[in-house]
A and B are shown apart, each in its own frame.
Chain A
Amino acid sequence: MKLKNLIFILLFIIPVSSYGGTKVLFLGDSISAGQGVEKEEAYPSLIDEILKTKGYNVKVINGSISGSTTASALSRLKWFKRAKIDILVLALGANDGLRGLPVIKMKENLDKTILYAQKSGMKIILAGMMIPPNYGKSYTKSFKKVYIDLAKKYSVVFIPFLLEGVGGNPELNQADGIHPNRTGQKIIAKHVLKYILEQL
């Protein structure tokens, strides 16, 4: 029953094989979920829009959850497995960092997720995260290194820093200083779009 339901839901959300289009899954946190802006204003939706106007046959699925950590990555990815994802944009880890969770654990979580995605035949785009300097040099350094190491290990497409040009700029962020505003989301979309286009 459960399985049947699950299949049904997936059929329901993602008209799977009827389109031969490319399915892009964003697995991220509040930045990708667009906390504080409308869902349509979050960069995954913006990318979807741009790709469609450019004539690509794509379907963007935004599976991002605010506040989520890498610990949830694998189980969430499994939830989307049946949607036959072609490209996975893995943009998790910021919350692990902000909450000061051990980087080793984070690396483990991401590692498992990438491994699973590769086995499932997805192309992977790993979005690198950085932690604000106030967390201390050693932590921010080892945090950053996780992404570099993983990108190397699995030779996945690597965006060195998801918030390139946005992070730390008050003009592009909301009052809390951490979540990109509308303009910020647009810049991220442009930035990430390049990497996706390479894969299409």
Chain B
Amino acid sequence: MILNVKNVSKSYPQPERGNLQVLTDCSFGISKGETTAITGQSGSGKTTLLSLIAGLDSPDSGSVILDGTDINGMSEDKLARFRARKTGMIFQQFHLMPHLTAEENVKLPIEILKSDRIEEKALSILEKVGLTDRKDHMPGQLSGGECQRVAIARALVVEPKVLLADEPTGNLDVKTGDIVADLLFDLVDSSNMTLVVVTHNPDLASRCERELTLAKGKLV
């Protein structure tokens, strides 16, 4: 098991309405190289689940064990580095640094991690996503699909154990979405990477080996 989620519950305080229970006692495990889709209706708690897996938030109870380490006990700074090394994140809104070029955006995580062969790694991954000729462009000069490809490159450049994606095609038109999804799955397959993708796009979900469905905060 590369990722093990055990009895995780999460609630958020709501002003004037008490706590809103988002996740209730969720447990599942994901093996290395597996691709998993988390689906469910809006408000079912899938994004919350993803944020807990990514260590961007901590559960009220239960634990998330990533590559053998319980991430909940870690200090924030340590977690930041751990997360950067073990996971890659792809967001619906791409979230690129607006003032950095495509190449600079891709380099950024490995620069933060002080990896070696930064230049080489970045260029190679840019080539894989097919953006070598656009590497000096700013995000503002790239199309949505290109931006997401940069984001994928940025997520993969650290060679993470687990790739986490939040509606990676949600902000793209159908055609571009398909291209990006193809690229994503190709890259994941070729590197035998574990992928967890949150989506309510049934096409995207169906491309995964496994589908976990959430309803009202519970796995069904």
A–B touch (CB < 8 A): the answer is no
